[in-house]
Amino acid sequence: MLPARYVVTGRTVETADSVTLRLEPLERPIPRFQPGQFTMLYARGVGEIAVSISGDPSVVDSALTQTVRAVGAVSRALHDAKPGTVVGVRGPYGVGWQPSLAWERDVLVVAGGVGLAPLRPVVLTVLAQRWRYRRLIVVAGARTPREFLYSDELKWWSSRDDLALELTVDHAADGWTGQVGFVTQPLARLPLDPAATTAFVCGPEPMMRFSAETLLRRGVPADRIRISLERNMKCGIGQCGHCQLGPLLVCRDGPVVDYARAAELLSVREL
Amino acid sequence: MSMFDQLSAFALLSGMSPTHIAVLSSAAKEVSFAAGDRLFHEGAPAKGCWLVQRGCVAVDAAVPGRGSVVVQTVGPGEVVGWSWLITPARWHFGAIAVAPTVAIELDTDQLKAFAEHDSSFGYPIAVALLTMVLDRLQTTRARLLDLYRNPADTPMSPL
Ligand SMILES: Cc1cc2nc3c(=O)[nH]c(=O)nc-3n(C[C@H](O)[C@H](O)[C@H](O)COP(=O)(O)OP(=O)(O)OC[C@H]3O[C@@H](n4cnc5c(N)ncnc54)[C@H](O)[C@@H]3O)c2cc1C
Ligand code: FES
């Protein structure tokens, strides 16, 4: 499938290594996305990678919002793309978070590092349709206070009384008066109604495992804990087998799966 | 709420019988700290254990050239202070309230005396403390992995 051409029309620096890009279609736009879906973003002459869509699903326009962390050649090229740069976009692909699974339930969002990017659309969906959900709790961890994505939005979230925000860092810095510790700490002590909670967890794999195990201990059912898997992708549409994890093709059957399914797969070491 | 009810509400003490919670209540009092109040200093003799109900306590250490460095924070439902249990009973780290904090303070001299006198009380206390220490160890190990680091950077931790 050929990528659609999009142009970078906005670039917000989030942290020392991450930016949020606004992309607008030059011709036909890709179809509307669901929270948790990703696109294959192509940096001309460098390569193509999977990147989650981090925009607001309730905004009806053809622009895409994607947050990119520079870790290697392709992500660096996309990270450095200035307004006016043309990129290729395929998608949206994959099974997303499906926030509707949490209607009339408590929503617990747990993000580690850049894992907040694919979860932002979940939080914005719940806020846009607040009456459909019960409590909304967001727990986010970062290495240092300066490494939180969307810092202005986090300030807005923390000022709301229909959202409980818990931020925690691995290493405190001057002026930080918030929590210092791993995300499992707030998860272990937050007042929860476990049987009525649906959790959406995203971050590095061990962080998702530790968080899911903490939630299981609290009594949240495994099929109510949704996590987003990350595997290197090539085709993005279930044809090349590149992203295989046990019986799953992550691009087609995921990236979001429930922990009842994922627990066993995550314990399989990659060769 | 009575002290008995407050202690019973603490998840960490859920394995203790009502009789033992009653014993614990006799060694417990409610205390509060303003932001900036220090609970204890690093290196001082260790006495006391605080079950945090509201607020936030930072566990810290003085590091030359960096001042006081916060290693971890402890929030509602968590416990600060266990060095009193093991000799030599000295605080390895300091603890300071970083927000207005309400806690239940346990008189650890009394607790030790009860536990030494009656191991059927001492055992669940030791298990509760071990549970807390294990949780703290697991979260510290998770942080040592430095999971959020950029794979392109040199690791901050030696792991
Ligand atoms: C479904 C899905 C959604 C994603 N969403 C986003 C997103 O929203 N934003 C974003 O920036 N990235 C996202 N990624 C990750 C992104 O696809 C990879 O970072 C990218 O493939 C790296 O390609 P590269 O050529 O830049 O670096 P490479 O040269 O491929 O990798 C550089 C270094 O980074 C390491 N590395 C690569 N990917 C990861 C990873 N995911 N975790 C830890 N280490 C890694 C490699 O081992 C290597 O050491 C997503 C991945 C998937 C599968
Ligand atoms: S990336 Fe080709 S099958 Fe998933």
Domain ranges of chain B: 3-147
Nearest to A234 by CA among A105, A74, A83: A74
Ligand 1 center from residue A203 Cα (angstroms): 12
Compute the nearest-CA separation of B98 from chain A (Å). Answer: 7
Whether the per-residue pLDDT at B96 is higher than 90: the answer is: yes
> What is the total count of domains within chain A?
2
Would you say B103 and B56 are in contact if contact means Cβ atoms under 8 Å apart?
no
The predicted model gives B49-74 an average pLDDT of 91
Look at B142 and A206 and tell me if their CB atoms are within 8 Å. Answer: yes
Same domain, A181 and A204: yes
Ligand nearest to the CA of A254: 1
Question: Structural domain of residue A17, as residue ranges?
Answer: 4-93
Of B139, B148, B151, the CB nearest to A143: B148
Query: Distance between CA atoms of B11 and B1, rounded to whole angstroms?
Result: 16
Decide if A271 is inside a domain: no
Q: B3-147 has which fold? A: Jelly Rolls (2.60.120)
Same domain, A140 and A222: yes
Decide if A234 is inside a domain: no
The pLDDT value given to residue A271? 41
Output the residue whose Cα is nearest ligand 1's atom 41: A230
Choose between B86 and A23: higher pLDDT: A23
Same domain, A140 and A35: no
Would you say A33 and A60 are in contact if contact means Cβ atoms under 8 Å apart?
no
Last residue in a domain, options A69, A93, A117: A93
The pLDDT value given to residue A266? 79
Same domain, A103 and A88: no
The pLDDT value given to residue A269? 55
Same domain, A29 and A122: no
The pLDDT value given to residue B159? 54
The pTM for the full model equals 0.92
Neighbours of B151 (CB within 10 A): 9
Last residue in a domain, options A93, A122, A137: A93
The pLDDT value given to residue B27? 93
Last residue in a domain, options A76, A93, A110: A93
A167-171, B10-14, B28-32, B134-138: least confident range: B10-14
Compute the nearest-CA separation of A264 from chain B (Å). Answer: 20
Decide if A38 is inside a domain: yes
Helix (H) or strand (E) holding A22: strand A18-25
Look at A182 and B143 and tell me if their CB atoms are within 8 Å. Answer: yes
Of B58, B75, B99, the CB nearest to A189: B75
Same domain, A81 and A113: no
Query: Distance between CA atoms of B61 and B54, rounded to whole angstroms?
Result: 23
Nearest to A224 by CA among A108, A126, A115: A108
In ligand 1, the atom with minimum distance to the C-alpha of A233 is 53
What does residue B138 show for φ and ψ, rounded to 5 degrees? Answer: -65, -45
The pLDDT value given to residue A166? 94
Look at A203 and B147 and tell me if their CB atoms are within 8 Å. Answer: yes
Would you say A136 and A164 are in contact if contact means Cβ atoms under 8 Å apart?
yes
Whose structure tokens read 């060095």? B83
Mean pLDDT by 10 residues, chain A (271 residues): 92 96 95 95 95 93 95 96 96 94 97 97 96 97 95 95 95 85 92 95 94 93 95 90 90 93 74 41
Decide if A31 is inside a domain: yes
B156 pLDDT band, cuts 50/70/90, is: low
Query: Distance between CA atoms of B123 and B121, rounded to whole angstroms?
Result: 6
Name residues whose C-beta falls within 8 Å of residue B132's C-beta, 6 or more positions apart in sequence: B12, B78, B79, B82
- Tell me what percent of the residues of chain B surpass a pLDDT of 70: 96
Decide if A123 is inside a domain: yes
Query: Distance between CA atoms of A199 and A126, rounded to whole angstroms?
Result: 13
Whether the per-residue pLDDT at B120 is higher than 50: the answer is: yes
Whose structure tokens read 């019973």? B8
Whether the per-residue pLDDT at B157 is higher than 80: the answer is: no
Decide if A132 is inside a domain: yes
Q: What integer best gives the mean pLDDT of chain B?
A: 90
Task: Assign 3-state DSSP to chain A and report helix, strand, coil percentages, each to 5.
Answer: 30, 30, 40
Query: Distance between CA atoms of A66 and A15, rounded to whole angstroms?
Result: 14
Same domain, A111 and A81: no
Name residues whose C-beta falls within 8 Å of residue A219's C-beta, 6 or more positions apart in sequence: A192, A194, A195
